[in-house]
Chains A and B, each alone.
Chain A
Amino acid sequence: MNGNMNLTLKVWRQKNAQTSGKFVTYKAEAISPDMSFLEMLDVVNEGLTHKGDEPINFDHDCREGICGMCSLYINGHPHGPKRGVTTCQLHMRTFHDGETITIEPWRASAFPVVKDLAVDRSAFDRIQQAGGYVSVNTGVSTDGNAIPIPKVIADEAFNSATCIGCGACVAACKNASAMLFVSAKVTQLGLLPQGQPERYSRVQSMVAQMDEEGFGSCTNTGACEAECPKEIKLTNIARMNNDFFSAKLFREEGVHDAKH
């Protein structure tokens, strides 16, 4: 089914991290309002391929808002103008016929461009590797119901755990800070009884890695919360700061390192 929307796209094209990029203008024609944003790009790419041109490269996989692979900075907003959705869930009915849409990659020095609209977010993985876990080996024998967890705590931990690691918070922030992303994991594990033994060492290791990756500092502007597709709250950052400062103040890390 073809639709009746015609759009102009200004798309960032960049061969790789070593070369510089530029905007290229394309027409997207006969677009249906029921298409997702990525399906609209699929249509444009099919057209380019038929002409023997290179299709526009962008990251995507699940196309249902959960894998965190899609990105795109659309008309000045990470994941586009609509709140609480990822780019893959954004539908063309959000735009109007004749509109010009600007599409850019996430811009942050810690996220170098891979090609066109795709960026390298491996810095996020390295932050998680620095401490985003509970140190248990496979084969624990404690029954799952041995430690009751109040529902409010479990629900709150779950809310933080819904972060999809997309990086929109970094893209939204004028300092390219990763605080919202890091604080979501710190909060999830910091709330649960399982996460207590490493609570203070975890926050220090993760923050240290975050700094090493070159993310900027947090100035409490709140752009990250506004653009986060999973609506992760700024209170996560407050909690993380709290844990971080008490760790520093009481030098808990020494105590905790001794436990390892």
Chain B
Amino acid sequence: MSLDAKIPEGPLAQKWSKHKFDLKLVNPANKRKYDIIIVGTGLAGASAAASLAELGYNVKAFCFQDSPRRAHSIAAQGGINAAKNYQNDGDSVFRLFYDTIKGGDYRAREGNVYRLAEVSVNIIDQCVAQGVPFAREYGGLLDNRSFGGSQVSRTFYARGQTGQQLLLGAYSALNRQIHAGKVQMYTRTEMLDVVTIDGHAKGIVTRNMITGAIETHAGHAVLLCTGGYSNVFYLSTNAIGSNVTAAWRAHKRGAFFGNPCYTQIHPTCIPVTGDHQSKLTLMSESLRNDGRVWAPKTVEVAEQLRKGTIKADQVKEDDRDYFLERKYPAFGNLVPRDVASRNAKEMVEEGKGVGGSGFAVFLDFADAIKRLGEDTVRAKYGNLFDMYIQITDENPYKQPMRIYPAVHYTMGGLWVDYNLSTNVPGLYALGECNFSDHGANRLGASALMQGLSDGYFVIPYTLGDYLAKIGPKKVDTSHPAFEATKKDVITYISKLLALKGNKTVNEYHRELGHIMWEYCGMARTAEGLTKAKGLIKALKADFWVNAIVTGENEEVNASLERAGRIADFIELGELMVDDALMRNESCGGHFRVESQTADGEALRDDENFAFVAAWEFKGENQPEVLHKEELVFEAVHLSQRNYA
């Protein structure tokens, strides 16, 4: 099977407008004859559901939380990029495109990324019209801040709660369509499988999380907007419920998984304190606008800090190493995330880590407070500082924050073409759930942009083309494929419920997380990955014998929900390791120790690895098959990333 990314012909800047013109349209009167299933109502799903319903399609939308307003998008902090150039600092669509391609270490498609930069400006207009209260300057105009990997200020924000405000905007648009009867919303409902008929996606199987009822839903197309899979690492900045199940079950029904090993480790998170920890908390990248990252220059000073015999503010200026400013004078503290994370790790490995565990460096606001005053710093970052105080019981207005990298985002996801269609016709993937726009490393403030671009501005066009081609003939659940898929789901659930062993599902999850972090985290080696593969296989076998799943299906059963998600994470973990092992180069967040420059930066191998890896599932316990989509670069010149 060959992979066709369907990138339109023609010059980069005209691809999207030309494509929009070439796409088939569904006439307004016919739209109401189509039923669309949307799984997930975060930024990507809610914006898609609202926009498609406004056009006249009938939408059924699903989420596992008790309300669409609680999707993980709500937690995004720092901001959303857009090439508005309101600051007159030289920004443009091309510059945002260029920064994103370069930030992704030349492993994303030019066509997709250009389109993303192009529609970024419309997103801001749309959100403002909905009443999203973005930060403003005294003159009443929209304010911007800077994010990593760029030298312009193009990030729009709402204090440290940008995701919340954008999601509530999309949620309000969704609510309006629910009220109008165009969207039927199913909350506390988990999608467990995709139904395909003659190779086309025609529906889903769900479990009602209150009653346990297993139900089927039919539609002309299925959109997965189910978020990322960082929780495969157990500890991550994602919400506890974030999981890969929807994408993974779709993968097992034929959808290719793109670049599974591309994960983002975010440099500024609150360090781990102990085994009890259930998640890690991000301290937004926006803090690097004003915070300075440093570690002690010598192991001796670090030792004193770890023992607590001295405090950070007692360390003399001369004894501090502002290592990002020193190594990357052009970008300073605002280098991309992968670079900042690896440097923090290096400091720790050299014995210069701080905090009780030694796994931390400092993020210091003393200079900013001196320059701007505590009140201004509070106005900009108050909620983040409060969060830090809650968790650590330390005051970052007085002492620098302790930070360490943590898993944050997954660039990998379901493979999609330019139209956001997976290789299974009728099955689409939007938002973090797809692999498409960030290459091997995502720049800050670009995920919100991508989710909303996919949902508001891309899918409403590209989906119409497919629908017009297949025609409005009613699809319903009487086709035997629905009953058959439902039976598979019921059998699977019974298998899980039969597990009455001696180890909790949480213990398996934690163990998987340890393996992934150790061998498939910030630095990967062929040897370590090979070892990890064996460990994961053994973990999987053990899970299916010794796990404990309590309760029954016909009730609220968090133990069962959890078990299904962890079983999928274990399988995904194995594929991530395969992918990381296959990719014998370093790029962005994927750092193979064997492939680095003399300065320890990620060293790409463009000759052999300038491709998207799309993996095909071949059956339980069978090796997956690799398909390559070659990346073609016409507008940018591939070079070693340089932020110095």
Q: How many A-B residue pairs have CB under 8 A?
A: 224
Chain A nearest CB from B121 CB (Å) reads 8
Residue B126 at the chain A interface, CB threshold 8 Å = yes
* B134 touches which of A55, A154, A189 (Cβ 8 Å): A154
The complex places the Cα of A22 from the Cα of B78 at a distance, in Å, of 43
Chain B nearest CB from A194 CB (Å) reads 5
* A142 touches which of B51, B129, B133 (Cβ 8 Å): B129
Residue B141 at the chain A interface, CB threshold 8 Å = yes
Residue B138 at the chain A interface, CB threshold 8 Å = yes
Chain B nearest CB from A209 CB (Å) reads 10
Residue A50 at the chain B interface, CB threshold 8 Å = yes
Q: Contact: A149 with B136, CB < 8 Å?
A: yes
The complex places the Cα of A162 from the Cα of B167 at a distance, in Å, of 12
The complex places the Cα of A2 from the Cα of B210 at a distance, in Å, of 34
Residues of B within 8 A of A34 (CB): 273-274, 276, 393
Minimal Cβ-Cβ distance residue in A for B188: A114
Taking A65-B387, A138-B456 as contacts, is the C-beta distance between A1 and B141 under 8 angstroms?
A: no
Q: Contact: B239 with A61, CB < 8 Å?
A: yes
Q: Contact: A136 with B130, CB < 8 Å?
A: yes
The complex places the Cα of A162 from the Cα of B165 at a distance, in Å, of 8
Residue B318 at the chain A interface, CB threshold 8 Å = no
Interface size on B, residues (CB 8 A): 83
The complex places the Cα of A144 from the Cα of B124 at a distance, in Å, of 6
Chain B nearest CB from A67 CB (Å) reads 4
Minimal Cβ-Cβ distance residue in B for A42: B278
Chain B nearest CB from A140 CB (Å) reads 4
Q: Mark B134-166, 1 if CB is under 8 A from A, else 0.
A: 111111111000000000000000110101110
Residues of A within 8 A of B71 (CB): 67
Residue B476 at the chain A interface, CB threshold 8 Å = no
Residues of A within 8 A of B489 (CB): none
Stretch at the interface among A98-106, A125-133, A170-178, A250-258: A125-133
The complex places the Cα of A42 from the Cα of B124 at a distance, in Å, of 40
Residue A201 at the chain B interface, CB threshold 8 Å = no
Stretch at the interface among B192-200, B467-475, B512-520, B555-563: B555-563
Q: Mark A134-155, 1 if CB is under 8 A from B, else 0.
A: 1111111111110111110011
Taking A89-B387, A144-B128, A150-B140 as contacts, is the C-beta distance between A64 and B240 under 8 angstroms?
A: no
| B270-327 interface (Cβ within 8 A of A) | 273-279, 281
Chain A nearest CB from B484 CB (Å) reads 31
The complex places the Cα of A158 from the Cα of B127 at a distance, in Å, of 14
Q: Contact: B131 with A61, CB < 8 Å?
A: no
Residues of B within 8 A of A137 (CB): 51, 54
Best-surrounded residue of A1, A16, A39, A195 (most CB of chain B within 10 A): A1
Residues of A within 8 A of B137 (CB): 151
Taking A63-B279, A68-B69 as contacts, is the C-beta distance between A134 and B129 under 8 angstroms?
A: yes
Best-surrounded residue of A42, A142, A144 (most CB of chain B within 10 A): A144
The complex places the Cα of A238 from the Cα of B150 at a distance, in Å, of 45
Q: Mark A107-134, 1 if CB is under 8 A from B, else 0.
A: 0000000110010111011001111111
The complex places the Cα of A120 from the Cα of B274 at a distance, in Å, of 33
Residue B72 at the chain A interface, CB threshold 8 Å = yes
The complex places the Cα of A60 from the Cα of B163 at a distance, in Å, of 18
Residues of B within 8 A of A62 (CB): 70, 72, 74-75, 239-240
Residues of B within 8 A of A143 (CB): 125
Q: Mark B537-574, 1 if CB is under 8 A from A, else 0.
A: 00000000000101100011011000000000000000
Residue B184 at the chain A interface, CB threshold 8 Å = no
Chain A nearest CB from B437 CB (Å) reads 20
The complex places the Cα of A129 from the Cα of B177 at a distance, in Å, of 8
The complex places the Cα of A61 from the Cα of B239 at a distance, in Å, of 5
Residues of A within 8 A of B140 (CB): 148-151, 154
Residue A218 at the chain B interface, CB threshold 8 Å = no
The complex places the Cα of A147 from the Cα of B141 at a distance, in Å, of 8
Q: Contact: A161 with B168, CB < 8 Å?
A: yes
Q: Contact: B129 with A121, CB < 8 Å?
A: no
Q: Contact: A195 with B278, CB < 8 Å?
A: no
Residues of A within 8 A of B277 (CB): 39
Best-surrounded residue of B84, B175, B506 (most CB of chain A within 10 A): B175
Residue A49 at the chain B interface, CB threshold 8 Å = yes
Residue A91 at the chain B interface, CB threshold 8 Å = yes
Minimal Cβ-Cβ distance residue in B for A128: B175
Residue A234 at the chain B interface, CB threshold 8 Å = no
Chain B nearest CB from A229 CB (Å) reads 11
The complex places the Cα of A104 from the Cα of B275 at a distance, in Å, of 27
Residues of A within 8 A of B126 (CB): 136, 138-140
Residue B623 at the chain A interface, CB threshold 8 Å = no
Q: Contact: A38 with B278, CB < 8 Å?
A: yes
The complex places the Cα of A15 from the Cα of B551 at a distance, in Å, of 11
Residue A188 at the chain B interface, CB threshold 8 Å = yes
Minimal Cβ-Cβ distance residue in B for A91: B390
Q: Contact: A128 with B172, CB < 8 Å?
A: yes
Q: Contact: A192 with B133, CB < 8 Å?
A: yes
Q: Contact: A134 with B172, CB < 8 Å?
A: yes
User: Interface of B with A (CB < 8 Å)?
Assistant: 47, 50-51, 54, 65-72, 74-75, 84, 86, 122, 124-131, 133-142, 158-159, 161, 163-165, 168, 171-173, 175-176, 178-179, 185, 187, 210, 239-241, 273-279, 281, 386-387, 390-391, 393, 456-457, 460, 500, 502, 504, 506-507, 548, 550-551, 555-556, 558-559
The 3 closest A-B pairs by CB, nearest first: A148-B140, A1-B274, A133-B172
User: Interface of A with B (CB < 8 Å)?
Assistant: 1-2, 15-16, 32, 34-36, 38-39, 42-43, 46, 49-50, 52-55, 57, 59-69, 84-85, 89, 91, 93, 114-115, 118, 120-122, 124-125, 128-145, 147-151, 154-155, 157-158, 161-162, 164-165, 188-189, 192, 194-195
A-B contact pairs, 29 of them (CB 8 A): A38-B278, A54-B550, A54-B559, A61-B65, A61-B70, A61-B241, A62-B70, A62-B75, A63-B239, A64-B279, A64-B281, A68-B69, A91-B390, A114-B210, A125-B68, A129-B179, A133-B172, A134-B130, A134-B131, A134-B172, A138-B50, A142-B128, A142-B129, A143-B125, A144-B142, A151-B138, A161-B165, A192-B131, A194-B131
